[in-house]
Chain A
């Protein structure tokens, strides 16, 4: 269970929150605190006060994979293979294991054809796929995805959804502006001005959002 108690960080305030294992999706306007919360979950930021724990451990003590909406900000290496392999190399995993893990991960996400490419030649969406592979290759317990889908087409997204479900990550915490992605979640959080105003499974939350731009029309069909 991910738990937050009296958490304050910058403009974000959460009095109490419990997130069970599964896919949790955060929706809300730009500036509502979604990315801030994701950074806390990934251990990139620490609360000013209060607590955020993942199965009673601090996020920085937990295996976490992070994908930024702008992958250029996180990509370190020139070639795709090296970028995906980097989390394993940093852990000094044997070379033959690295090779097989990278190839297996690329195959799961359908990007084997990118392995020998230079990162600078990739499209924005392809860079997101590479970042996702680098986040998943070391089998994290928590996968944190910050609007990863804003540069992806529907076909790639469908494939990635399967990859995420099969990844073995116990917790997937993501934010999106694609309500067709939000539908496919176990738990939804709606953020407004630094606070969580709605929390629950999609069928409990979307009725509150009817008539807004956040209501997925597909939901009614």
Chain B
């Protein structure tokens, strides 16, 4: 079974620090935290792209890792949209049809709107299976409908570890485990819905629904709609 274990992992910079311990097993994990708390730093460390200030990371049965960065421009290597798809090892026609960009095959990726580029980037990333998939702010730049589609795609993943680093509050996929970074430390809040009790970054709607006696089972839009229906009938 794939898993990644952080053993007293730390990052230290001037007056800022992050420490993280815990095991991420197969399934979808959510890591929340305030801006500047170290979500991206943690993602880089888990991807092996940033030296640790301390501690160590153990990976079991993880042979393929992908880190999707917050800003999709940073991934671009192709001069055209078709070349960009090919650089990810995916069929441009197939991908561009799926993300409604078939007419922009010969355009520069950097000429796409930010939403289009993010859609293209995520489609290329999600076209393959990785043992460890790290998604840094995958919902930024997407419109609400695209966020819903991304959640559906992530929800269909049946293997590997997917870790979503985000502060998105409204449209999220169903997750196995919730984590958060508080005061420079990674905290394991547990499994929904029990995790909601300890989760300091719990979305306002979940907090509200819980107060009204209709706690959702998980954090997905379907779970939230079901909980709202229980109140409103």
| Residues of chain A whose beta carbon lies under 8 Å from any beta carbon of chain B | 28-31, 35, 69-70, 72, 121-126, 128-129, 147, 150-156, 177-180, 212-214, 216-218, 220-221
The contact string, 1 if C-beta is below 8 Å from chain A, for chain B 153-180, is 0000000000000010111000000000
Segment touching A, from B57-65, B75-83, B87-95, B201-209? B201-209
B191 touches A (CB below 8 Å): no
Contact B201 A153 (CB under 8 A): yes
Contact B144 A177 (CB under 8 A): yes
User: Which residue of chain B lies nearest to A158 when distances are taken between CB atoms in the complex?
Assistant: B204
Segment touching A, from B4-12, B19-27, B30-38, B121-129? B30-38
27 intermolecular pairs with C-beta atoms under 8 Å apart: A29-B143, A30-B116, A31-B113, A31-B115, A70-B73, A124-B70, A125-B34, A126-B35, A150-B137, A151-B70, A151-B167, A153-B34, A154-B169, A154-B203, A154-B204, A155-B201, A177-B142, A178-B170, A179-B144, A180-B205, A213-B144, A213-B171, A217-B170, A217-B224, A218-B204, A218-B205, A221-B208
The interface residues of chain B lying within 8 Å CB-to-CB of A30 are: 113-116, 119, 141-143, 146
| Residues of chain B whose beta carbon lies under 8 Å from any beta carbon of chain A | 13, 32-36, 39-40, 70-71, 73, 113-116, 119, 137, 139-148, 167, 169-171, 201, 203-205, 208-209, 212, 221, 224-225, 228, 231-232
Contact B115 A151 (CB under 8 A): no
Q: How far, in angstroms, from A212 to B212 measured CA to CA in the complex?
A: 24
The interface residues of chain A lying within 8 Å CB-to-CB of B170 are: 178-180, 216-217
The interface residues of chain B lying within 8 Å CB-to-CB of A221 are: 205, 208-209, 212, 228, 231
Tell me the smallest distance from the CB of A51 to a CB of chain B, in Å. Answer: 26
The interface residues of chain A lying within 8 Å CB-to-CB of B204 are: 154, 180, 218
Q: Contact check: which of A153, A179, A216 meets B167 at CB < 8 Å?
A: A153
Q: How far, in angstroms, from A29 to B168 measured CA to CA in the complex?
A: 17
Tell me the smallest distance from the CB of A140 to a CB of chain B, in Å. Answer: 23
User: Which residue of chain B lies nearest to A154 when distances are taken between CB atoms in the complex?
Assistant: B169
Q: Contact check: which of B115, B119, B225 meets A217 at CB < 8 Å?
A: B225
The interface residues of chain B lying within 8 Å CB-to-CB of A70 are: 71, 73, 114
Q: How far, in angstroms, from A212 to B116 measured CA to CA in the complex?
A: 20
Q: Contact check: which of B36, B147, B169, B212 meets A180 at CB < 8 Å?
A: B169
Q: How far, in angstroms, from A90 to B212 measured CA to CA in the complex?
A: 53
Tell me the smallest distance from the CB of A64 to a CB of chain B, in Å. Answer: 21
Q: How far, in angstroms, from A176 to B118 measured CA to CA in the complex?
A: 16
Q: How far, in angstroms, from A156 to B167 measured CA to CA in the complex?
A: 10
Q: How far, in angstroms, from A121 to B228 measured CA to CA in the complex?
A: 41
Q: Given A217-B224, A221-B212, A155 and B141 touching (CB < 8 A)?
A: no
Q: Given A152-B35, A180-B169, A217 and B205 touching (CB < 8 A)?
A: yes
Q: How far, in angstroms, from A179 to B144 measured CA to CA in the complex?
A: 9
Q: How far, in angstroms, from A70 to B70 measured CA to CA in the complex?
A: 11
Known contacts A121-B13, A154-B203, then 10 further A-B pairs from the complex at CB < 8 Å, ordered by chain A residue? A30-B114, A69-B114, A69-B140, A124-B40, A125-B36, A147-B141, A153-B34, A154-B169, A217-B170, A217-B205
Tell me the smallest distance from the CB of B177 to a CB of chain A, in Å. Answer: 19
Contact A124 B167 (CB under 8 A): no
Q: Contact check: which of B141, B208, B228, B231 meets A69 at CB < 8 Å?
A: B141
Q: How far, in angstroms, from A176 to B36 measured CA to CA in the complex?
A: 21
Q: Contact check: which of B35, B115, B225 meets A156 at CB < 8 Å?
A: B35
Tell me the smallest distance from the CB of B31 to a CB of chain A, in Å. Answer: 12
Q: Given A29-B145, A221-B208, A153 and B33 touching (CB < 8 A)?
A: yes
Q: How far, in angstroms, from A148 to B203 measured CA to CA in the complex?
A: 19
